[in-house]
Amino acid sequence: MEYLPDPVNDRPLKDLPPFVNKAIDDSLLFPRSQDGAEIPDWRLLEEFMSKEGPLSKQQVMKIIKMGTDIFKNEPNLVKIPEPVVVVGDIHGQYYDLVHMLNKAGDPQKLNYLFMGDYVDRGIFGLECMMLLISIKINFPKKFVLLRGNHESRNMTESFTFREEVIQRFDNQVYDAFMELFDALPIACVVDDKYLAMHGGISPELNLIEEINAVNRF
């Protein structure tokens, strides 16, 4: 990682590492797996973004596309077994997300169920999404991301995520995020015992299987 220089040695907090000022190389971010597929190195990405390292537009779009392809092949109602770590609203708090993952345990060894509302309000919505999508790509069956009410055009335009993305990139990246949000599943059954979703159960819902009849796209 290439850090910002301190040519006059005037950084007031010498014990804190300087920020990263150069995008990470694609060969490091997307190493090839044994079958030749490019999979984002989510641990490297987590460390890189924790130092406020910038991703290129091409890298962001690539991760969004990989995640969208996975979500589009999932049903509205996904399933996951126990034990599972259930996580509520994150709302752009990237460092809280990293802290939670470190405390709860390795996604490679644990099942995770995120209940939505990953963006808006906090200033690191893009980083939250990049990390969550990258982990999802690595562990598609163990890492469930549901759609919350903030994963929508209306909410992201009314709150902060649209402005965040456009200030840092452009409308093309924002539109790609909206396509990914459209593809997120909307509910999850845990171990055939518990029904999980972001908001609540519709009074028009009579059978759980009816959730799969909803056109979420």
Catalytically active residues are: 150
The two tokens of residue 190 are 């845990």
Q: Which residues contact 67 (CB under 8 A, 6 or more apart)?
A: 133, 136, 137, 180
Return the HEC string of the chain.
CCECCCCCCCCCCCCCCCCECCCCCHHHHCCECCCCCECCCHHHHHHHHHCCCCCCHHHHHHHHHHHHHHHHCCCCEEEECCCEEEECCCCCCHHHHHHHHHHHCCCCCCEEEECCCCCCCCCCHHHHHHHHHHHHHHCCCCEEECCCCCCCHHHHHHCCHHHHHHHHCCHHHHHHHHHHHHHCCCEEEECCCEEEECCCCCCCCCCHHHHHHCCCC
Q: How far apart, in whole angstroms, are the C-alpha atoms of residue 137 and residue 70?
A: 7
